[in-house]
């Protein structure tokens, strides 16, 4: 492969079509989990129409910019008869609908899957809920920290014997949104064969339990209830966080134990019976931690990263968020990109983290001002000026949120 052809794998030609170009998505979601799915679809080139309520706002500030970039916005009162008519006209022209209502709510509104599918059998109807579409908790309200607790994450996070700790991100929201994106893509692929859409759904709880992965299988297969392990790997040691002269470093020392000892000039450690084999090192992990950190105190983190990397050992510093985006590899990957927002000016956002060599993802635009494209979307749906005026006058559709809407 020539240098130029190799570079093309990383830098698609300008103007290349996006993977989901031509796919239209209706986004009825609020908060974080559902918007994560529709945002990912927008990043991959889908036309996403955010269907908001004139009376209810969503997350604001940086959250709004992050979750709704690249979308179009229309405000529809789904409780209004004429608003529901507008919604179904959009449904007839859509490929995907994403929603995160509780099961009973979408049924009361008359926008549940059987009803919507009858109007557009090709539609992929994608749902996120707190606990699933069926079962004893189906109508409960859910949120990320509740799912972290019920999914087992808080029981294995944090230092040993310190009680439950939440993760520092809304991990079940992000997980469920990402799993739903995968489901949508698979359902669109199936539609190419069958000509029909289907209902795909997940929940915060299902996604959180699935993300427990090897910790879950420690129970399911081994019958072991995983305890808290702090900053150490739960089953392998030494692998975790260690103090240095000026801070901390993460090191997977167990993946190259002898090379690690040579690198830190501590081959005598292996002569200690407490650290002679993996089982012994696990049993005496606190003592081994102290011995290793005594050695690491001789140098600052940056020097140890260079030494251990040269020895072939996975390692790295612990960054605050400002340090993350100052890292040369993060800068090279261009994980942060800037777009222009109609009201807030330049806004820097995270790009989609998957690279396509032929159909690139892109930040198509900043987040829309809610309702700013209502008129344009109605025109595309075939409404004339007189009909649009009547919809606005009736309150079925709006171009901005009501005063006091939250």
- 158 in the same domain as 290: no
- Mean pLDDT to the nearest integer, 193-219: 98
Residues 298 and 340 in one domain: no
Q: What percent of the chain shows pLDDT beyond 70?
A: 96
Same domain, 141 and 43: yes
Query: What is the average per-residue pLDDT within 58-74?
Result: 95
Is 404 within the bounds of a domain?
Answer: no
- Specify if 234 maps to a domain: no
Q: Is residue 235 part of a domain?
A: no
pLDDT tens, 12-53?
A: 566 789 999 999 999 999 999 999 999 999 999 999 999 999
Distance CA 259, CA 277 (A): 15
Q: What is the mean pLDDT of residues 131-136?
A: 96
* 38 and 121 belong to one structural domain: yes
- Per residue in 1-14, pLDDT tens? 454 444 555 565 66
Domain housing 125: 3-211+335-398
Q: Is residue 92 one of the residues assigned to a domain?
A: yes
Is the same domain home to 181 and 48?
yes
Same domain for 98 and 145:
yes
Same domain, 267 and 348: no
Q: Is residue 232 part of a domain?
A: no
Count of structural domains within the chain = 2
Whether residues 354 and 293 share a domain: the answer is no
Q: Is the residue at 135 inside a domain?
A: yes
Same domain, 368 and 292: no
Give CA–CA dist 305/255, Å, rounded.
15
User: Measured between alpha carbons, how far is residue 243 from residues 70, 280, 291 in Å?
Assistant: 42, 22, 11
Q: Is the bond preceding residue 91 a cis peptide, omega within 30 degrees?
A: no
pLDDT at 6: 46
Backbone angles phi, psi at 95, to 5 degrees: -105, -30
Q: Work out the percent of the chain whose per-residue pLDDT is above 90.
A: 92
Q: State which of 288, 317, 346 marks the end of a domain.
A: 317
CATH of the domain at 359: 3.40.50.10540
Kindly report, residue by residue over 217-270, the tens digit of the pLDDT.
Answer: 999 999 999 999 999 999 999 999 999 999 999 999 999 999 999 999 999 999
User: Rounded mean pLDDT of the chain?
Assistant: 94
pLDDT at 363: 87
The three-state secondary structure class of 219 is helix
């Amino acid at each position: 492969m020539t240098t130029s052809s190799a570079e093309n794998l990383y830098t698609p030609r300008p103007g290349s079509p996006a993977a989901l170009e031509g796919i239209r998505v209706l986004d009825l979601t609020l908060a974080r989990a559902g918007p994560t799915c529709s945002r990912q679809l927008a990043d991959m080139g889908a036309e996403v129409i955010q269907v908001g309520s004139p009376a209810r706002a969503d997350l604001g500030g940086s959250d709004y910019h992050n979750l709704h970039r690249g979308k179009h916005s229309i405000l529809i009162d789904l409780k209004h008869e004429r608003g529901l008519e507008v919604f179904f006209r959009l449904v007839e022209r859509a490929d995907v609908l994403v929603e995160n209502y509780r099961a009973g709510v979408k049924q009361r509104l008359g926008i549940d899957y059987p009803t919507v599918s009858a109007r557009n059998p090709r539609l992929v109807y994608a749902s996120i809920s707190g606990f699933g579409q069926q079962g004893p908790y189906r109508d409960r309200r859910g949120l990320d920290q509740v799912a972290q607790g019920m999914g087992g994450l808080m029981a294995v996070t944090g230092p040993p014997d310190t009680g439950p700790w939440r993760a520092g991100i809304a991990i079940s929201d992000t997980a469920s949104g990402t799993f739903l994106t995968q489901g949508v893509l698979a359902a669109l692929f199936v539609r190419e064969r069958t000509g029909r859409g289907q209902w795909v759904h997940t929940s915060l709880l299902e996604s959180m339990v699935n993300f427990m992965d090897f910790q879950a299988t420690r129970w399911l297969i081994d019958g072991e209830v995983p305890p808290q392990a702090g900053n150490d790997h739960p089953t392998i040691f030494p692998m975790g966080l260690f103090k240095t002269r000026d801070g901390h470093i993460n090191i997977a020392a167990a993946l190259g134990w002898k090379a690690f000892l040579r690198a830190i000039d501590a081959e005598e450690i292996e002569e200690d019976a407490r650290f002679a084999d993996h089982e012994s090192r696990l049993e005496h992990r606190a003592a081994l931690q102290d011995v290793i950190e005594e050695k690491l105190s001789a140098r600052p983190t940056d020097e140890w990263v260079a030494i251990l990397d040269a020895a072939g050992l996975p390692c790295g510093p612990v960054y605050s968020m400002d340090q993350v985006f100052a890292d040369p590899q993060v800068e090279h990957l261009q994980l942060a990109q800037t777009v222009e927002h109609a009201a807030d000016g330049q806004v820097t956002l995270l790009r989609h983290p998957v690279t396509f060599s032929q159909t690139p993802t892109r930040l198509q635009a900043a987040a829309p001002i809610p309702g700013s494209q209502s008129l344009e979307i109605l025109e595309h749906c075939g409404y004339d000026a007189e009909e649009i005026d009547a919809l606005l006058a009736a309150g079925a559709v709006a171009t901005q949120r009501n005063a006091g809407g939250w």
